[in-house]
């Protein structure tokens, strides 16, 4: 199972140079409900909700969504390992991914965010190899 950070979905939707491989979308994908909020906020902020909305809805429909349940929120309140400071939403994503790992799920994290991947490594979370395609 691959946990998707919002940076990966935005890179795909916005056709950035660092696009994830097409094969990623054939995998079992999961994310926090937070991804949906971040994605729409970003699209609205860029004036792209109308032009990219259908594709965004299809991508969101492919994901299993983990709600921000109390154990996830509780984990986000604790300190994270490593020296890299986290932003609030990144901490919530990592708490969600970590929660799945703690529940015995085999999860790898797909993210382009260097701060998030540094802390994920310190947490022992395996990273998905996002080659530029």
Within 8 A by CB and 6+ apart from 114, the residues are: none
Q: How is residue 126 written in tokens?
A: 């395996």
Mean model confidence pLDDT for the chain: 93
User: Using CB atoms within 10 A of its CB, is residue 54 exposed (0-12), middle (13-18) or buried (19+)?
Assistant: exposed
Confidence category of residue 6, pLDDT binned at 50, 70, 90: very high
Q: Report the CATH architecture of 2-127.
A: 3-Layer(aba) Sandwich (3.40)
- DSSP class of 123: H
Report the alpha-carbon distance of residue 82 to residue 122 in Å, rounded: 6
Number of residues written out for the chain: 133
Task: Please list the residues that pair with 31 across neighbouring strands.
Answer: 65
According to DSSP, residue 47 is labeled T
Percent of the chain with pLDDT over 90: 86
**pLDDT tens string 34-82:** 999 999 999 999 999 999 999 999 999 999 999 999 999 999 999 999 8
Region 79-93: mean pLDDT is 91
């Amino acid at each position: 199972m691959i946990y998707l950070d919002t940076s990966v979905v935005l890179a795909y939707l916005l056709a950035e140079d660092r696009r994830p491989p097409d094969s990623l979308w054939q995998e079992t994908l999961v994310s926090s409900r937070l991804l949906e909020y971040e994605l729409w906020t970003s699209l609205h902020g860029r004036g792209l909700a109308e032009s990219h909305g259908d594709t965004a809805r299809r991508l969101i429909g492919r994901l299993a969504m983990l709600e921000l349940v109390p154990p996830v929120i509780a984990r986000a309140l604790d300190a994270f390992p490593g020296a890299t400071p986290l932003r609030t939403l990144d901490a919530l994503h990592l708490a969600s991914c970590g929660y799945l790992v703690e529940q015995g799920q085999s999860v790898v994290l797909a993210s382009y965010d260097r701060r998030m991947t540094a802390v994920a490594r310190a947490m022992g979370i395996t990273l998905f190899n996002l080659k530029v395609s």
